Structure 1
């Protein structure tokens, strides 16, 4: 029986018609059976402040988020670019999950993927690399290839939010297949050692 890996997907856009969420759903549909992608909502996480952690009273939303990310076998980040960086909601989720210090939900060398999504031509390049800087510190082993800077996505989806661009579909399939192999390589070897 083949292994199924639980992948927590963090979408950095809160818009109802978010291209990032549409890409996440397209990847969920294309994912091989070895991956179970699950969008973990981040929009209702209270802004991180160390005081509740120091006082032993973290908000329930923080605790639930940390537990969910902590039990995931892998992580996928799908983000727009705001001012050459990631949106504040995604940075907050990173901060919430990484605390209290020494108890990061991201720790342990989880296999990660970063996908930046933009209607613009450069595909969120700045956000993609800015996010990777944080993930290095968090010990998320981020897939290097193929790089996923998705530009021009406004033309990819029909009015119902379904992917209609075939060249985009092929590229997204390449990304999700490569990520499945990456997860198997990283998380699979860890499970065999356990």
Structure 2
């Protein structure tokens, strides 16, 4: 199973729009994916789902993670890095089984001009610790508000070129 993770719990985020764009485009390329939005994390994540205690809601999420062999993380920039909720989600998953020797691709998004370069680098360090093998082509989509049309599609020529290239490499990875 391939799972796309929208790396924030912010409602109506551009991150989710990009995740849905990737899902639609990968389907056109013949790859079915599952989209997991961190908005769907249980509200008890911090109080009961960390450190071995598990709610039934998180058990279902853990099962989905265990079945996943490839992840595509869409990660917004939060304070020069990646969202804390993404790290908390990773921490709540079973270690090391959840991510060990699986594959991932990383896409950074930001409203600024660097496309979350630093956050993707930080998250890459977490992936290394988890033994999560990361596709070398990491994308950084800057000024995200100017990259999406009204339907939530990326439309700029260079962005389309590089996202298409990354998706093709991800499928073959």
Which TM-score band applies after superposition, normalised by the shorter structure? 0.7 to 0.9
Provide the residue aligned with 2:16 in structure 1.
21
Q: Are 1:158 and 2:149 matched, yes or no? A: yes
Provide the residue aligned with 2:130 in structure 1.
138
For residues 29 and 167 of structure 1, the distance between their equivalents in structure 2, rounded to whole angstroms, comes to 19
Q: How does 1:8-47 map to 2 (within 5 A)?
A: 8-31=3-26, 32-33=29-30, 35-43=31-39, 44-45=41-42, 46-47=45-46
For residues 157 and 138 of structure 2, the distance between their equivalents in structure 1, rounded to whole angstroms, comes to 19
Give the Å deviation of 1:68.
Answer: 0.2
CA contact (8 A) 1:10 1:90 kept: no
Equivalent position SS for 1:126:
helix
Residues 66-104 of structure 1, C-alpha deviation per residue, up to 9 Å, x if partnerless?
A: 11011012111111111222111111111111x3x45x3
Structure 1 residue runs of 5 or longer lacking an equivalent are: 1-5, 183-194
CA contact (8 A) 1:135 1:141 kept: yes
Provide the residue aligned with 1:191 in structure 2.
none
Provide the residue aligned with 1:111 in structure 2.
103
Q: RMSD over aligned Cα, in angstroms? A: 1.7
For residues 42 and 140 of structure 1, the distance between their equivalents in structure 2, rounded to whole angstroms, comes to 19
Q: Are 1:78 and 2:102 matched, yes or no? A: no
For residues 50 and 104 of structure 2, the distance between their equivalents in structure 1, rounded to whole angstroms, comes to 26
For residues 37 and 170 of structure 1, the distance between their equivalents in structure 2, rounded to whole angstroms, comes to 21
Picking from 57, 60, 78, the partner of 2:56 is 60
Residue-pair matches, total: 166
Q: Are 1:167 and 2:158 matched, yes or no? A: yes
For residues 71 and 91 of structure 1, the distance between their equivalents in structure 2, rounded to whole angstroms, comes to 20
Give the Å deviation of 1:16.
Answer: 3.5
Give the Å deviation of 1:164.
Answer: 2.9
* TM-score, normalised with respect to structure 2: 0.87
Structure 2 residue runs of 5 or longer lacking an equivalent are: none
CA contact (8 A) 1:19 1:153 kept: yes
* TM-score, normalised with respect to structure 1: 0.78
CA contact (8 A) 2:105 2:138 kept: no
For residues 9 and 141 of structure 1, the distance between their equivalents in structure 2, rounded to whole angstroms, comes to 15
For residues 71 and 96 of structure 1, the distance between their equivalents in structure 2, rounded to whole angstroms, comes to 16
For residues 119 and 85 of structure 1, the distance between their equivalents in structure 2, rounded to whole angstroms, comes to 13
Runs of 4+ in 1 over 6 A off after TM superposition: none
Equivalent position SS for 2:32:
strand
